[in-house]
Homo-oligomer: A and B are copies of this chain.
Amino acid sequence: MKKLFLLSTILLTTILFSFSQKKELTIENAVSGQWRELYPEHINGVKAYTENNFTYVKDYKQIKDLKSDKTILTLEEINSAIVETGNKEIKYFPYWNYSWLNSNQLKFTAGSNNYIYNSSTKKLDLNITLPEKADNVHYCKSNNYTAYTIDNNLYFSDAKGKIVDITSDKDKGIVNGNGYTHRQEFGITEGIFWSPNGTMLAFYRKDETMVADYPLVNITKRIAEVSNTKYPMIGEKSEEVTLGIYNLKTGKTVFADVTDFTNERYLTSITWDANSKFFYIGVLNREQNHLKLNKYEAKNGKFVKTLFEERNEKWVEPEHQLIFPKGLDNKFVWYSERDGFNHLYLYNTEGKLIRQLTKGNWLVLDFLGFDSKLKNFYIYSTKESPIEKHLYKVNFKTGKMQKLTSAAGIHNIVLSNSKKYFFDSYSNKKTPNNNLIVDSKGKTVKIVLEAKNPYTENGYELGKMSIGTIKAADGKTDLYYRLITPPNFDPNKKYPTIVYVYGGPHAQLVHNQWLGDARLWNYYMAQKGYVMFTLDNRGSANRGFEFESIIHRQCGQEEMKDQMKGIDFLKSLPYVDADRIGVHGWSYGGFMTTSLITNYPETFKVGVAGGPVIDWKYYEVMYGERYMDTPKENPEGFEKTSLLNKAKDLKGRLLMIHGYQDPVVVPQNSLDFIRSCIKDNTDIDYFLYPESEHNMRGKTRIHLMKKVTRYFDDYLK
């Protein structure tokens, strides 16, 4: 009888186990599944079309109307026009790379080919093939020309494909028209600026001949070779940038006559006047605490006037161009953090402030445009919650705001040309991806998609994710955290816990969006039995200037205090094993990881620090000096934050990882840290990815995350 009972228990257990057994995430899922096989159902390539409509791209083959789902164009039709010109047909319509110039003209690129397909004539209105090495490609609607760069020089192709050299600098240290100017700080992503009427072209000319080379070593050659990269280190000689204005009629270039500050000034917010007669530059001093918004004459580059200035003893950080709304003569919208939050201001082109357009203890994330009658404009803001992103309609005169997106979460919007409708794609903690068409009163016109949970659908059970707040080390500020517990969570167990950290400016890791904005690896680790925790400390993004600028001249110091509040919170949870707390982060997060494990060796048993800044003196001028000033100006700040001084305090297991080709956080950082550990006789583990830059991708990323996982499994589990 007893034996039988035992047997049936075993059977029952087996059955129950089979029933409750879920599929397990693999490391491959953990790294890329989130964006591939486990990505929620979604709609590709939604674009505004005609006045009130949208198109999307189905299966790379059909361009369809989003409301009616009628096919507007097929790849076949487009291809027959392409083939007619003698070009090869394309296999997939590039949904990520098309736009409607008007209801008939569809602009897109396929490889080096730049096309405009005209749906009424069924012909190509533009058909040019750029050289294979063309980069920084900028099409101008007014003249049908396309400007681009090859290596360090700037060219344009006219509507018929005739190519003209604008620059011909032989010294590779002179770089023209490149979007990497000023290392992409100050919101810079482009280096080519067509005038609205298409008669002129402004472009960045970056002289980095005087900038030091950082030697990276390429080991994939028969004999390893040096590959130098220009790297202006904090406090050292920086690049010198000017703005060229190329006149298409004369074929001549003049340069903006900028004389403010020193030659190492930053030229930001490059914007053409609506009439193409003037252009504007936000001229910022190298110290980044004094901005002059200057106006220049296009025909000769001459300085006209300074419209206004902004100063701040910590920093001024212009990140946006001027916005000239159609129909609003000689007025523009300007973003500024001057009242402590990123808000919009209306100026006239003489520099007179008309009025502040938005105001409050929240910030404007993005300006999306005015409606045609200039009655309202549309913005994304954090007014609802710092961890959400909503669409607001703002009355231009009164500033009265109306939230148009209703569900909690992160909303991504495509406005129709008329601004009467918007396509809303949103997610939140519980919603993988819902897509709606909504009208300008916020009323849902059509539910386009309600994606199912791709995890439960595929038989996976993720750990429970929750978002909450704790008080910062200042005792008053709310900080948002994300906590993930293992599936089959047992509240009576003690779990090893990993803090995944970034902590630096311009980033926020916790959002009310699908998966809480966590990388799936966090859930993979939870599945392996870890509690995963992330806290956005003071210094992180979207909380206003005071919150973000706490790091000034002391990167890491206040951030650590907040992270330790996170640790206090974790320790208050009965299921967190306080003796098994680890920390992991990359880049600024690698700096934070190394800072935490060396400053709090009793708390953190294991750390994995990737691509870490180790001493700010090894970081670059643009980002680095904004936050730290120079070693000369702030010796005590560099001393205090340098992890070279902390290697001696390392007690836990620390794995440091670096891309051997990292041109962002150069390998000197981590190599000098291990040098310090050797000097101080402390234990450190290290790994290099020989071909990787600052981030690892594809197969390399799988290898990396397997390594990170294994390190925690070896020493924290």
Give A residues with C-beta under 8 Å from B. 212, 214-215, 217, 219-220, 222-226, 231, 233, 236, 617, 660, 666-668, 671-672, 674-675, 677-679, 681, 683, 685-691, 699-700, 702-703, 706-707, 710, 714
Contact = CB atoms under 8 A, between A and B. Distances in A.
B671 A683 contact: no
B226 A233 contact: no
Given A215-B225, A219-B672, A224-B666, A703 B688 contact: no
A710 B710 CA distance: 17
Contacts of A679: 699
Contact of A219 (B219, B675, B686): B675
Nearest to A672: B219
A224 B688 contact: no
A32 B246 CA distance: 69
Given A702-B681, A714-B714, A214 B224 contact: yes
A652 to B, nearest CB: 13
Nearest to A715: B714
A223 to B, nearest CB: 5
A687 B690 contact: no
A683 B699 contact: no
Contacts of A683: 706-707, 710
A674 B704 CA distance: 12
User: Quick one: which of A212, A667, A678, A683 has the most chain B CB within 10 A?
Assistant: A678
A223 B234 CA distance: 10
Contact of A699 (B681, B689, B702): B681
B668 A219 contact: yes
Contacts of A706: 681, 683
A678 B666 contact: no
Contacts of A220: 672, 675
B688 A685 contact: no
Given A683-B706, A700-B678, A703-B678, A671 B215 contact: no
A215 B214 contact: no
A675 B699 contact: no
Contacts of A691: 675, 678
Contacts of A688: 671, 674, 686, 688
A683 B707 CA distance: 7
Given A222-B617, A223-B231, 10 more contacts: A212-B223, A219-B668, A223-B233, A223-B668, A671-B688, A678-B689, A678-B690, A683-B707, A685-B685, A686-B687
A688 B670 CA distance: 11
A638 to B, nearest CB: 13
Nearest to A686: B687
26 contacts: A212-B223, A214-B223, A215-B224, A215-B225, A217-B217, A219-B672, A219-B675, A222-B236, A224-B666, A224-B667, A660-B671, A671-B688, A675-B690, A675-B691, A678-B690, A678-B691, A679-B699, A681-B702, A681-B706, A683-B707, A683-B710, A685-B687, A686-B687, A686-B688, A688-B688, A714-B714
A86 to B, nearest CB: 40
Contact of A215 (B226, B668, B714): B226
B217 A215 contact: yes
A297 B671 CA distance: 54
A686 to B, nearest CB: 5
Contacts of A236: 222-223
User: Quick one: which of A215, A677, A679, A699 has the most chain B CB within 10 A?
Assistant: A215
A660 B672 CA distance: 12
Contacts of A233: 222-223
Contact of A703 (B224, B231, B681, B707): B681
A714 B685 CA distance: 13
Contacts of A678: 689-691, 699-700, 703
Contacts of A700: 678
Contacts of A225: 215
Contacts of A617: 222
A672 B685 contact: no
A401 B617 CA distance: 70
A678 B699 CA distance: 7
Contacts of A681: 699, 702-703, 706
A655 to B, nearest CB: 9
User: Quick one: which of A220, A671, A687, A700 has the most chain B CB within 10 A?
Assistant: A671
A690 B672 contact: yes
Minimum-distance CB pairs A-B, first 8: A215-B226, A224-B668, A675-B690, A219-B671, A671-B690, A678-B703, A219-B668, A212-B223
A507 B435 CA distance: 72
User: Quick one: which of A217, A225, A707 has the most chain B CB within 10 A?
Assistant: A217
A703 B212 CA distance: 33
